[in-house]
A and B are shown apart, each in its own frame.
Chain A
Protein backbone atom coordinates (compact mmCIF):
# COMPACT_ATOMS: atom_id res chain seq x y z
CA UNK A 1 0.00 0.00 0.00
CA UNK A 2 1.24 3.44 -0.81
CA UNK A 3 0.42 4.76 2.63
CA UNK A 4 3.25 2.70 4.08
CA UNK A 5 6.42 4.65 4.60
CA UNK A 6 9.63 3.94 6.38
CA UNK A 7 10.84 6.05 9.21
CA UNK A 8 14.46 6.89 9.62
CA UNK A 9 15.20 3.83 11.71
CA UNK A 10 14.11 1.58 8.89
CA UNK A 11 11.11 0.21 10.73
CA UNK A 12 7.93 0.65 8.72
CA UNK A 13 4.73 2.07 10.12
CA UNK A 14 1.43 2.11 8.38
CA UNK A 15 0.24 5.68 8.20
CA UNK A 16 -3.55 5.86 7.85
CA UNK A 17 -5.41 8.34 5.68
CA UNK A 18 -7.36 10.86 7.77
CA UNK A 19 -10.01 12.99 6.12
CA UNK A 20 -11.51 16.15 7.54
CA UNK A 21 -15.18 17.09 7.32
CA UNK A 22 -16.42 20.35 8.77
CA UNK A 23 -19.84 20.71 10.37
CA UNK A 24 -20.89 24.35 10.21
CA UNK A 25 -24.01 26.39 10.78
CA UNK A 26 -25.45 28.96 13.12
CA UNK A 27 -25.71 28.71 16.87
CA UNK A 28 -28.16 26.03 17.93
CA UNK A 29 -28.45 24.51 14.45
CA UNK A 30 -27.44 21.08 15.76
CA UNK A 31 -23.68 20.88 15.13
CA UNK A 32 -22.87 19.23 18.45
CA UNK A 33 -25.84 16.87 18.13
CA UNK A 34 -24.78 15.82 14.66
CA UNK A 35 -21.12 15.19 15.53
CA UNK A 36 -22.23 13.25 18.60
CA UNK A 37 -24.77 11.12 16.79
CA UNK A 38 -22.33 9.61 14.26
CA UNK A 39 -19.08 9.57 16.17
CA UNK A 40 -17.57 9.46 19.60
CA UNK A 41 -17.57 13.15 20.37
CA UNK A 42 -14.76 14.80 22.32
CA UNK A 43 -13.72 18.36 23.02
CA UNK A 44 -10.71 19.78 21.22
CA UNK A 45 -9.00 22.91 22.50
CA UNK A 46 -7.46 25.28 20.06
CA UNK A 47 -5.67 27.98 21.93
CA UNK A 48 -4.72 30.38 19.23
CA UNK A 49 -2.44 33.34 19.16
CA UNK A 50 -3.84 36.45 17.58
CA UNK A 51 -0.88 38.10 15.94
CA UNK A 52 -2.03 41.55 14.88
CA UNK A 53 -4.29 41.56 11.88
CA UNK A 54 -2.09 39.45 9.64
CA UNK A 55 -3.97 36.34 8.64
CA UNK A 56 -6.88 37.16 10.88
CA UNK A 57 -9.07 39.43 8.88
CA UNK A 58 -11.86 40.24 11.26
CA UNK A 59 -10.82 40.48 14.88
CA UNK A 60 -12.40 43.83 15.56
CA UNK A 61 -13.02 44.24 19.27
CA UNK A 62 -10.49 41.69 20.41
CA UNK A 63 -7.29 43.52 19.49
CA UNK A 64 -6.10 43.63 23.07
CA UNK A 65 -6.14 39.85 23.43
CA UNK A 66 -3.07 37.83 22.63
CA UNK A 67 -4.62 34.40 22.85
CA UNK A 68 -8.09 33.05 22.60
CA UNK A 69 -9.37 29.66 23.58
CA UNK A 70 -11.84 27.95 21.35
CA UNK A 71 -13.23 24.57 22.21
CA UNK A 72 -14.55 22.65 19.25
CA UNK A 73 -16.54 19.46 19.04
CA UNK A 74 -14.59 16.81 17.28
CA UNK A 75 -15.25 13.19 16.53
CA UNK A 76 -13.74 10.29 14.67
CA UNK A 77 -15.36 7.69 12.46
CA UNK A 78 -13.14 4.72 11.75
CA UNK A 79 -13.93 3.47 8.25
CA UNK A 80 -11.09 0.96 8.20
CA UNK A 81 -7.83 0.73 10.09
CA UNK A 82 -6.24 2.78 7.32
CA UNK A 83 -9.04 5.24 6.70
CA UNK A 84 -10.42 7.62 9.28
CA UNK A 85 -12.92 10.41 9.07
CA UNK A 86 -12.66 13.36 11.41
CA UNK A 87 -15.61 15.64 12.04
CA UNK A 88 -15.08 19.17 13.32
CA UNK A 89 -17.92 21.26 14.64
CA UNK A 90 -16.71 24.69 13.57
CA UNK A 91 -16.86 27.52 16.08
CA UNK A 92 -19.87 29.62 15.26
CA UNK A 93 -18.87 33.14 16.19
CA UNK A 94 -17.63 35.47 13.51
CA UNK A 95 -14.48 36.34 15.41
CA UNK A 96 -13.23 32.81 14.94
CA UNK A 97 -13.15 32.96 11.15
CA UNK A 98 -9.37 32.71 11.22
CA UNK A 99 -9.72 29.25 12.72
CA UNK A 100 -11.80 28.16 9.78
CA UNK A 101 -8.98 28.84 7.37
CA UNK A 102 -6.88 26.10 8.85
CA UNK A 103 -9.84 23.79 9.34
CA UNK A 104 -10.91 24.07 5.72
CA UNK A 105 -7.38 23.60 4.39
CA UNK A 106 -7.36 20.18 2.76
CA UNK A 107 -10.84 19.37 4.05
CA UNK A 108 -12.87 16.85 2.13
CA UNK A 109 -15.90 19.08 2.41
CA UNK A 110 -18.41 20.65 4.74
CA UNK A 111 -21.94 20.18 5.99
CA UNK A 112 -23.82 23.44 6.55
CA UNK A 113 -26.63 22.88 9.02
CA UNK A 114 -29.67 25.02 8.42
CA UNK A 115 -32.54 25.73 10.76
CA UNK A 116 -35.54 26.82 8.71
CA UNK A 117 -36.73 29.02 11.58
CA UNK A 118 -33.47 30.99 11.32
CA UNK A 119 -32.32 30.38 7.79
CA UNK A 120 -30.15 33.50 7.66
CA UNK A 121 -27.87 32.07 10.36
CA UNK A 122 -26.21 29.79 7.84
CA UNK A 123 -25.52 32.49 5.22
CA UNK A 124 -22.01 33.28 6.53
CA UNK A 125 -21.01 29.60 6.39
CA UNK A 126 -22.29 29.24 2.85
CA UNK A 127 -20.52 32.42 1.73
CA UNK A 128 -17.32 31.22 3.32
CA UNK A 129 -17.29 27.79 1.66
CA UNK A 130 -18.35 29.22 -1.70
CA UNK A 131 -15.47 31.69 -1.59
CA UNK A 132 -12.94 29.04 -0.58
CA UNK A 133 -14.22 26.54 -3.13
CA UNK A 134 -14.82 23.97 -0.38
CA UNK A 135 -17.54 21.53 -1.49
CA UNK A 136 -20.52 21.55 0.86
CA UNK A 137 -24.03 20.21 1.26
CA UNK A 138 -26.82 21.97 3.13
CA UNK A 139 -28.53 19.79 5.71
CA UNK A 140 -31.83 21.06 7.03
CA UNK A 141 -32.23 19.91 10.59
CA UNK A 142 -35.90 19.04 11.02
CA UNK A 143 -36.58 19.40 14.71
CA UNK A 144 -39.51 17.40 16.01
CA UNK A 145 -40.19 16.10 12.54
CA UNK A 146 -41.34 19.52 11.48
CA UNK A 147 -40.81 19.89 7.80
CA UNK A 148 -42.06 23.28 6.93
CA UNK A 149 -40.10 23.70 3.75
CA UNK A 150 -39.27 21.43 0.88
CA UNK A 151 -35.58 20.89 0.18
CA UNK A 152 -35.65 22.70 -3.16
CA UNK A 153 -37.40 25.70 -1.60
CA UNK A 154 -34.56 25.95 0.92
CA UNK A 155 -32.04 25.69 -1.91
CA UNK A 156 -33.76 28.56 -3.74
CA UNK A 157 -34.02 30.65 -0.60
CA UNK A 158 -30.29 30.23 0.00
CA UNK A 159 -29.51 31.02 -3.65
CA UNK A 160 -27.30 27.93 -3.89
CA UNK A 161 -25.31 27.09 -6.99
CA UNK A 162 -27.02 24.41 -9.06
CA UNK A 163 -25.98 20.95 -7.97
CA UNK A 164 -25.36 21.77 -4.31
CA UNK A 165 -27.36 19.09 -2.49
CA UNK A 166 -29.96 20.02 0.11
CA UNK A 167 -30.90 17.23 2.51
CA UNK A 168 -33.63 17.13 5.14
CA UNK A 169 -32.66 15.15 8.22
CA UNK A 170 -32.85 14.85 11.98
CA UNK A 171 -29.46 15.53 13.60
CA UNK A 172 -30.32 13.33 16.56
CA UNK A 173 -30.66 10.19 14.48
CA UNK A 174 -27.43 8.38 13.67
CA UNK A 175 -28.74 7.23 10.29
CA UNK A 176 -29.89 10.72 9.39
CA UNK A 177 -26.48 12.23 10.10
CA UNK A 178 -24.75 9.35 8.37
CA UNK A 179 -26.84 9.85 5.24
CA UNK A 180 -25.87 13.51 5.16
CA UNK A 181 -22.20 12.53 5.23
CA UNK A 182 -22.76 10.00 2.43
CA UNK A 183 -24.50 12.71 0.40
CA UNK A 184 -21.50 15.01 0.90
CA UNK A 185 -18.86 12.43 -0.05
CA UNK A 186 -20.82 11.36 -3.13
CA UNK A 187 -21.16 15.01 -4.13
CA UNK A 188 -17.40 15.53 -3.75
CA UNK A 189 -16.77 12.43 -5.88
CA UNK A 190 -19.17 13.69 -8.59
CA UNK A 191 -17.40 17.07 -8.66
CA UNK A 192 -14.05 15.35 -8.91
CA UNK A 193 -15.15 13.18 -11.84
CA UNK A 194 -16.68 16.20 -13.60
CA UNK A 195 -13.57 18.33 -13.25
CA UNK A 196 -11.39 15.41 -14.36
CA UNK A 197 -13.61 14.92 -17.41
CA UNK A 198 -13.54 18.58 -18.42
CA UNK A 199 -9.75 18.72 -18.50
Chain B
Protein backbone atom coordinates (compact mmCIF):
# COMPACT_ATOMS: atom_id res chain seq x y z
CA UNK B 1 0.00 0.00 0.00
CA UNK B 2 1.31 3.48 -0.75
CA UNK B 3 2.40 5.57 2.20
CA UNK B 4 -0.63 7.76 1.91
CA UNK B 5 -3.63 6.11 0.26
CA UNK B 6 -5.45 9.44 0.20
CA UNK B 7 -2.63 11.14 -1.69
CA UNK B 8 -3.75 13.57 -4.30
CA UNK B 9 -3.25 11.44 -7.39
CA UNK B 10 -5.46 10.10 -10.13
CA UNK B 11 -5.85 6.40 -10.57
CA UNK B 12 -4.16 6.54 -13.94
CA UNK B 13 -4.19 8.57 -17.10
CA UNK B 14 -6.87 6.42 -18.65
CA UNK B 15 -9.29 7.40 -15.91
CA UNK B 16 -9.54 10.78 -17.61
CA UNK B 17 -11.20 13.81 -16.12
CA UNK B 18 -13.55 12.01 -13.77
CA UNK B 19 -14.27 15.13 -11.82
CA UNK B 20 -17.82 15.14 -10.65
CA UNK B 21 -18.72 12.13 -8.53
CA UNK B 22 -15.25 10.77 -7.99
CA UNK B 23 -13.74 14.05 -6.85
CA UNK B 24 -14.62 12.99 -3.31
CA UNK B 25 -12.46 9.89 -3.72
CA UNK B 26 -9.66 11.84 -5.38
CA UNK B 27 -10.32 10.00 -8.57
CA UNK B 28 -9.94 6.54 -7.13
CA UNK B 29 -12.54 4.19 -8.54
CA UNK B 30 -11.81 0.93 -6.74
CA UNK B 31 -11.91 0.37 -2.98
CA UNK B 32 -8.73 -0.66 -1.22
CA UNK B 33 -8.77 -4.14 0.23
CA UNK B 34 -11.00 -5.86 -2.32
CA UNK B 35 -14.45 -5.61 -3.80
CA UNK B 36 -17.51 -4.68 -1.80
CA UNK B 37 -20.92 -6.14 -2.56
CA UNK B 38 -23.72 -3.61 -2.88
CA UNK B 39 -25.75 -5.68 -0.40
CA UNK B 40 -22.97 -5.99 2.18
CA UNK B 41 -23.79 -4.63 5.62
CA UNK B 42 -21.64 -1.96 7.21
CA UNK B 43 -21.27 -1.34 10.95
CA UNK B 44 -19.17 1.37 12.52
CA UNK B 45 -16.70 0.04 15.04
CA UNK B 46 -16.32 2.01 18.24
CA UNK B 47 -12.92 3.65 17.89
CA UNK B 48 -10.99 5.00 20.87
CA UNK B 49 -8.91 7.37 18.82
CA UNK B 50 -10.21 8.93 15.64
CA UNK B 51 -7.57 9.12 12.94
CA UNK B 52 -9.57 12.01 11.61
CA UNK B 53 -6.80 13.82 9.79
CA UNK B 54 -7.23 12.23 6.40
CA UNK B 55 -10.95 11.66 6.49
CA UNK B 56 -13.37 13.71 4.47
CA UNK B 57 -16.85 14.81 5.54
CA UNK B 58 -18.30 11.96 3.47
CA UNK B 59 -16.26 9.43 5.46
CA UNK B 60 -17.63 10.84 8.69
CA UNK B 61 -21.15 10.81 7.29
CA UNK B 62 -20.82 7.09 6.54
CA UNK B 63 -19.53 6.30 10.02
CA UNK B 64 -22.37 8.35 11.53
CA UNK B 65 -24.97 6.51 9.44
CA UNK B 66 -23.58 3.06 10.26
CA UNK B 67 -24.22 3.00 13.99
CA UNK B 68 -26.64 0.18 13.26
CA UNK B 69 -25.92 -2.35 10.49
CA UNK B 70 -26.80 -0.74 7.16
CA UNK B 71 -26.38 -2.11 3.64
CA UNK B 72 -24.15 -0.34 1.12
CA UNK B 73 -27.11 0.58 -1.11
CA UNK B 74 -28.90 2.25 1.82
CA UNK B 75 -25.81 4.31 2.59
CA UNK B 76 -25.56 5.43 -1.02
CA UNK B 77 -29.21 6.42 -1.20
CA UNK B 78 -29.29 8.08 2.23
CA UNK B 79 -26.12 10.10 1.66
CA UNK B 80 -26.98 10.82 -1.98
CA UNK B 81 -23.67 9.40 -3.18
CA UNK B 82 -23.26 6.90 -5.97
CA UNK B 83 -22.71 3.26 -5.05
CA UNK B 84 -19.24 3.35 -6.64
CA UNK B 85 -18.15 6.33 -4.57
CA UNK B 86 -19.49 4.82 -1.36
CA UNK B 87 -17.51 1.66 -2.06
CA UNK B 88 -14.22 3.55 -2.34
CA UNK B 89 -14.93 5.45 0.88
CA UNK B 90 -15.86 2.20 2.63
CA UNK B 91 -12.54 0.72 1.51
CA UNK B 92 -10.74 3.61 3.23
CA UNK B 93 -12.77 3.21 6.40
CA UNK B 94 -12.21 -0.53 6.40
CA UNK B 95 -8.46 -0.02 6.07
CA UNK B 96 -8.59 2.46 8.94
CA UNK B 97 -10.46 -0.05 11.10
CA UNK B 98 -13.41 2.27 11.54
CA UNK B 99 -16.03 -0.08 10.13
CA UNK B 100 -16.73 -3.78 9.88
CA UNK B 101 -18.14 -5.24 6.67
CA UNK B 102 -20.41 -8.25 6.49
CA UNK B 103 -20.60 -9.71 3.02
CA UNK B 104 -23.82 -11.47 1.99
CA UNK B 105 -23.70 -15.25 1.57
CA UNK B 106 -22.04 -16.49 -1.61
CA UNK B 107 -24.16 -15.92 -4.69
CA UNK B 108 -23.92 -19.58 -5.61
CA UNK B 109 -25.60 -20.63 -2.39
CA UNK B 110 -29.32 -21.23 -2.81
CA UNK B 111 -31.62 -19.20 -0.63
CA UNK B 112 -32.80 -20.98 2.48
CA UNK B 113 -36.36 -22.30 2.07
CA UNK B 114 -37.23 -21.28 5.64
CA UNK B 115 -36.17 -17.73 4.83
CA UNK B 116 -38.32 -17.82 1.69
CA UNK B 117 -41.31 -18.96 3.75
CA UNK B 118 -40.72 -16.12 6.19
CA UNK B 119 -40.67 -13.69 3.27
CA UNK B 120 -43.97 -15.01 1.91
CA UNK B 121 -45.60 -14.80 5.33
CA UNK B 122 -44.24 -11.31 5.82
CA UNK B 123 -45.54 -10.18 2.43
CA UNK B 124 -48.98 -11.61 3.15
CA UNK B 125 -49.08 -9.64 6.37
CA UNK B 126 -48.39 -6.33 4.60
Q: Which residues of A contact B (CB under 8 A)?
A: 5, 7-9, 11, 13-20, 38, 42-49, 66-67, 69, 74, 76-77, 79-80, 83-86, 102, 105-106, 108, 174, 178, 181-182, 185-186, 188-189, 192-193, 195
Contact = CB atoms under 8 A, between A and B. Distances in A.
B67 to A, nearest CB: 10
Interface string B82-126: 111100000000000100101011110011010111111011101
Given A83-B115, A108-B111, A192-B111, A45 B16 contact: no
Given A79-B119, A185-B120, 6 more contacts: A5-B102, A8-B100, A13-B100, A42-B77, A79-B123, A192-B111
Contacts, number: 127
Contacts of B56: none
Given A18-B104, A105-B107, A192 B73 contact: no
27 contacts: A5-B102, A17-B115, A18-B39, A18-B71, A18-B104, A19-B115, A19-B119, A45-B83, A47-B82, A47-B84, A47-B85, A67-B22, A69-B21, A74-B73, A76-B74, A79-B118, A85-B119, A86-B73, A108-B116, A108-B119, A178-B126, A182-B123, A182-B124, A185-B120, A188-B116, A192-B110, A192-B116
**Interface magnitude class on chain B:** 35 or more
Interface of B: 14-16, 18, 21-22, 29, 37-39, 41, 43, 45-46, 68-69, 71, 73-74, 76-77, 80-85, 97, 100, 102, 104-107, 110-111, 113, 115-120, 122-124, 126
